[in-house]
């Protein structure tokens, strides 16, 4: 099991490049990229319903004080509250569905952008680490990766038929490739899915996370969204309150009253019903359909 102690120094560009090249030699395909049509990663990430969990992932990320401070100091979240979420989704799409060149270029660009993000927490927090932060800190990279994978699994199981345990184990195994693309060493990840879920519970309940004023300010901007999205504010609130772990929901100051619980339950049931009646061909993301056509075309030309 992984400990809460610091994981080491931020990865250098030369070391990241070395790891990325090694990853490509083990798992990369010029056309399919790092995953491909036969992967469960494509199966899960192609479904548009998976991205309902994006709000949950983003809020969980900023529960880490250093992630929250990085967002506050290096983004315009007040003017563009969903900007980071959309950029994250675009990056995930390139890493998951892109061909080898696209995925490697995106991974390198992500590392380069993170190199420029750093600073100092404005004040001490009840939390066992230093005040200095950098986006390429292995601990922060691991936490952001974990929130994306955990939220994808939670969302899929909430709105779609559950997968067999062996399928989820396979998904977690494939996610380690995604983690390495983001700069996380596989050695810093829990070995099995059971270990991963246990580590997530311990992290949520432990001292590493602390929701302070900065995180609550960002969360408020995200949930409210820009003025044009005013009609969605109630549903964003209900979705955030319902999908977050209980302790984190309380830390963000989100109420869990009877009306909120009823609205959440009704919304989940309505979405499940809708998903049963909408074919995957329609739910499938355009980026996934393009990736599948790319691979199909390559097979035809090779035949």
* pLDDT tens digit sequence for 43-82: 999 999 999 999 999 999 999 999 999 999 998 877 777 7
Tell me what pLDDT residue 189 has. 96
CA distances from 193 to 138, 142, 199 (A): 20, 15, 10
pLDDT tens-place values along the chain, 303 residues long: 233 334 668 889 999 999 999 999 999 999 999 999 999 999 999 999 999 999 999 999 999 999 999 999 998 877 777 777 788 889 999 999 999 999 999 999 999 999 999 999 987 776 666 888 999 999 999 999 999 999 999 999 999 999 999 999 999 999 999 999 999 998 999 999 999 999 999 999 998 999 999 999 999 999 988 777 777 789 999 999 999 999 999 999 999 999 999 999 999 999 999 999 999 889 999 999 999 999 999 988 887
Separation of alpha carbons 138 and 74, rounded Å: 19
The burial class, CB within 10 Å (0-12 / 13-18 / 19+), for 145 is buried
Tell me what pLDDT residue 127 has. 66
Tell me what pLDDT residue 9 has. 81
CB contact set of 261 (below 8 Å; sequence gap of 6+): 242
Tell me what pLDDT residue 180 has. 97
Phi, psi at residue 245, to the nearest 5°? -55, 145
The model's pLDDT over 153-202, given as tens digits with 9 standing for 90+, comes to 999 999 999 999 999 999 999 999 999 999 999 899 999 999 999 999 99
Q: Which long-range contacts (C-beta less than 8 Å, at least 24 apart) are formed by 260-266?
A: 263/234, 263/238, 264/238, 264/239
Separation of alpha carbons 263 and 23, rounded Å: 45
* 3-state SS record for the chain: CCCCCCCCCCCCHHHHHHHHHHHHHHHCECCCECCCCCCHHHHHHCEHHHHHHHHHHHHHHHCCHHHHHHHHHHCCCCCCCCHHHHHHHHHHHHHHHCCHHHHHHHHHHHHHHHHCCEEECCCCCCCCCCCEEECCCHHHHHHHHHHHHHHHHHHHHHHCCCCCHHHHHHHHHHHHHHHHHCCCCHHHCCCCHHHHHHHHHHHHHCCCCCCCHHHHHHHHHHHHCCHHHHHHHHHHHHHHHHHCCHHHHHHCCCCCCHHHHHHHHHHHHHHHHHHHHCCHHHHECHHHHHHHHHHHHHHHHHC
Separation of alpha carbons 159 and 131, rounded Å: 39
CB contact set of 179 (below 8 Å; sequence gap of 6+): 142, 145, 186, 189
- Contact (CB, 8 A) for 159 and 268: yes
Tell me what pLDDT residue 159 has. 96
Separation of alpha carbons 50 and 87, rounded Å: 16
Separation of alpha carbons 170 and 40, rounded Å: 7
């Amino acid at each position: 099991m992984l400990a809460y102690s610091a994981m080491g120094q931020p990865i250098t560009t030369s070391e990241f490049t070395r790891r990325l090249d090694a990853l490509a030699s083990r798992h990369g395909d010029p056309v399919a990229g790092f995953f491909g049509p036969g992967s469960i990663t494509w199966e899960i990430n192609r479904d548009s319903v998976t991205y309902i969990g994006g709000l949950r992932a983003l809020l969980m990320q900023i529960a880490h004080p250093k992630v929250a401070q990085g967002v506050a100091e290096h983004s315009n979240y007040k003017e563009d509250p969903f900007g980071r979420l959309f950029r994250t989704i675009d990056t995930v799409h390139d890493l998951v569905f892109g061909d080898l060149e696209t995925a490697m270029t995106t991974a390198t660009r992500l590392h380069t952008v993170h190199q420029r993000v750093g600073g100092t927490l404005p004040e001490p927090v009840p939390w066992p680490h230093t005040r200095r932060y950098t986006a390429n800190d292995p601990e922060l990279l691991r936490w952001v990766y974990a929130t994306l994978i955990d939220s994808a699994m939670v969302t899929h199981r909430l709105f779609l038929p559950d997968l067999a345990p062996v399928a989820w184990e396979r998904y977690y195994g494939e996610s380690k490739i995604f983690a390495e693309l983001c700069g996380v060493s596989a050695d810093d990840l829990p070995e099995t899915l059971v270990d991963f879920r246990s580590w997530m519970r311990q992290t949520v309940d432990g001292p590493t996370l602390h929701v302070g004023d900065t995180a609550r300010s960002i969360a408020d901007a995200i949930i409210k969204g820009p003025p044009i999205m005013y009609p969605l504010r109630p549903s964003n609130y209900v979705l955030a309150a319902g999908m977050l772990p209980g302790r984190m929901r309380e830390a963000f100051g989100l109420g869990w009253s009877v009306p909120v619980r009823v609205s959440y339950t009704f919304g989940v049931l309505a979405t499940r019903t809708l998903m049963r009646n909408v074919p995957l061909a329609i739910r499938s993301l355009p980026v996934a359909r393009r990736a599948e056509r790319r691979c199909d075309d390559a097979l035809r030309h090779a035949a």
